[in-house]
Chain A
Amino acid sequence: MNHSGATGVPQRTGLRRAHWLVFGGVLLVLALVGGALLYLSPVLALLDNHSPAAGKPGSATVATPPPLDSKQRINILLLGSDNDQKFKQDAVLSQTMIVVSIDPSRHQVTLLSLPRDLWVEIPGYQSAKIDLAYAKGGAPLARATVEKAFKVPIHYYAWIGLNGLVRVVDRVGGVDVDVLHPVLDDNYPNDFSASGYGTERVYLSAGPQHLDGRHTLQYVRSRHGDLLSDLGRSIRQQQVLLAIQQRTVGMDLVTALPTFARDLNGHLKTDLDLVRLTQLALFMRGLHAGDVHQAFLTPYVRDAVSPDGQQILLADWPAIRTYLHQLFGGDLLP
């Protein structure tokens, strides 16, 4: 009597079932990974889009920056340009230069605004206003200039243009800002007109209010009615950065990040990779108002005229270095 059939059939059936289970599992994983890649494709496209010139030639920084989840301070150079609608990207001045310094061990962030008219030595060039560095050599030269002048190591950079800021603010649903002064400007540059030139009239009343992207741009950019000039703009820029951060506190990053990336493609350049970008977003989301320290160099600069007749700011470098030591302690370059 052959009993093999009685015992052999269930064994084969069990094996087949196991094979199908493994096959199904692999398919499921592949589907999940494929879905994740498809879903995140805008983010990947955005990060692939960063300028190849964004490496670090000329940089004094160590080759591998510390990870964002370590206890070491991370400095990101935030660059902003408001004439990218008119000129070739990478050939524009950086009207905004803010060092965002993240100190994970103290759970603190310092925003240090660098005045765009500050007269510094640009590596490989003569002395010039600091905003020229980005126009001459993109992010690497801007980074090298900041490191050389201030001895602040720059680990990453992010550049954003006019449209980028408008899109970020609109994507987070606008920002809530206490407008410090009434903003009136009869000659505000209308870069979004058909020609990219021309002016328009702008009015923003003072006091707490909700601003959409376009009005946020007007707030940070207008300077014709502000006696504080560049300092006034720096204060407003930091105010809006904080307002954007506050707005993202309750956001669902799963749905937000790919949409953000799609909006910003072509308007944002950065050398932050995907994982660090996410770590940064998570860190920023957990910040409270008291965790952010705002810093300005205004007390340590004075008005002057350059040899070629430009209105510039000259720095009191010893005073600036003392101030930076107060801000960053021993985390400065030698």
Chain B
Amino acid sequence: MRRAAAILLMALLTLTACTSNGAAPRDPGKVVLPVKQVSIPGRLYATKGRTLYRFSGTHLTRLLVGTRLKDPAVTRDGARLAFAQLQDQSSTIVLADAGGQNLQSITAASGPDGALWAFAPRYSDDGQQIVYLTDRGKQRSSPQNLQPNDLGVWRYEVSRGLSRQIVAPIPYTGGESDPGLRPGVSEQLLYTTYLYGGSPPQAVARLTWMSTRTGAIVYLSPDGARNFQPAFSPDGRFVAFVHAGSGSDDLYVMPLGATFTREPRPYPTDGAVLLESGMVSQPVWAPDGSAIAFLKLVNGSFDLFIQQVAISGAVQATGQAQAVTHGSFLDADSRLAWSP
């Protein structure tokens, strides 16, 4: 009986094969550039398989070979890099020059509270401050005595070589993500706060605007929605971010008032402009504000795209986004960075 079923199955499968789309997409293990290459102005950084790649013009360069890292960042002049270097059970923030030399660790892999994580560094406009995420300051945890180890936002002052916490995490939420200082006004911080809201409760992600001078915070997006990965335009007037809708993660851009105010209503995200639909992540602006790079899931692979934009009061897409890579399985959980 089972043998008869096998024969019937074989016939079914043969028929199926005729309508099959082929094998599931597989990671080719390298960055693949499309036949029609896109020329990148300046230097655009991304990671694949925890290795750092730099796209410049039509050149692709692998940097810091042998170092496992994520979340590259770059100073506005492009002279200095920062990234999260990954070890087995911890990570540290490391600084380097543009060529990936002269490494300097600015956080420790462990402390009195155990092994530590550190991720998502971002330079201030003048390169003198770095904001990043870490679980430093947590309480020691064990299976018998579970303690939260959510990520808070810390600020490192380059000239003094000192770090201090500027946003304490909300316990058992995963903590904050995606910190970035506003260009030209480094007393303003933008990041994502992860919460639970609604009834029945569900995952919520809110864009959060903070005055680092007073410690006051306001939300820029409503409760009950998921908006995350904010990225300031180079002039600080606009914010690109990802909005999770029903089954998609779309790229939007919204304006942001010049001065820190009370919680704005309607929320700026309500009037945001849709730039790209799909499963999008990690937007970053070109140094001159003329384009936004992002990662997008296409045919089972996260690839690098560039969308040209025009700014005339609001931000508008000009033409279609262009693919910089093809079937490359870039790390969609790792931030992008772009310098002149």
Contact = CB atoms under 8 A, between A and B. Distances in A.
B281 interface: yes
Given A178-B249, A207-B332, A282 B16 contact: yes
A38 to B, nearest CB: 10
A49 to B, nearest CB: 12
Contacts of A209: 281, 302, 331-333
Interface in A39-53: 39-40, 43-44, 47-48
B173 interface: yes
Interface stretch (B33-41, B54-62, B144-152): B144-152
A228 B89 contact: no
Interface string B78-92: 000000000001110
B249 A184 contact: no
Given A186-B141, A252-B22, A273-B5, A206 B173 contact: no
Contacts of B24: 172-173, 247-248, 250-251, 256
Contacts of B22: 250, 252
A127 interface: no
Contacts of B151: 182, 184
Contacts of B21: 249-252
Interface in A297-322: 298-299
- Majority SS at the chain B contact face: mixed
A206 B174 contact: yes
Contacts of B226: 180
A187 B146 CA distance: 8
Contacts of A231: 200-201
B25 A205 contact: no
A186 B297 CA distance: 30
Contacts of B196: 227-228
B20 interface: yes
Interface residue tally on A, bucketed by range: 35 or more
A317 B331 CA distance: 45
Nearest to B205: A206
Contacts of A60: none
B279 to A, nearest CB: 5
A278 B201 contact: no
Contacts of A44: 2, 6
A184 B10 contact: no
Contacts of B229: 207
Given A208-B281, A278-B13, A227 B172 contact: yes
Contact of A227 (B16, B89, B173, B205): B173
Contacts of B16: 253-254, 282
Interface string A209-234: 11000000000000011111001100
Interface residues of B, number: 72
Contact of B332 (A33, A210, A279): A210
B97 to A, nearest CB: 26
- Majority SS at the chain A contact face: mixed
A253 B20 contact: yes
B209 to A, nearest CB: 19
A275 interface: yes
Contacts of A176: 279, 297, 300, 302
Contacts of B147: 186
Contacts of B222: none
Contacts of B201: 227-228, 231
B6 A208 contact: no
A312 to B, nearest CB: 18
A293 interface: no
Interface stretch (B113-121, B269-277, B308-316): B113-121
Contacts of B7: 33, 36
A150 interface: no
A206 B282 CA distance: 11
B2 A173 contact: no
Interface stretch (A1-9, A106-114, A140-148, A196-204): A196-204
B247 A289 contact: yes
A232 B149 CA distance: 18
A254 B242 contact: no
Interface in A230-249: 231-232, 235, 247-249
A26 interface: no
A282 B19 CA distance: 11
Nearest to B90: A201
Given A231-B200, A255-B23, A273-B5, 5 more contacts: A40-B10, A181-B174, A201-B90, A205-B177, A208-B279
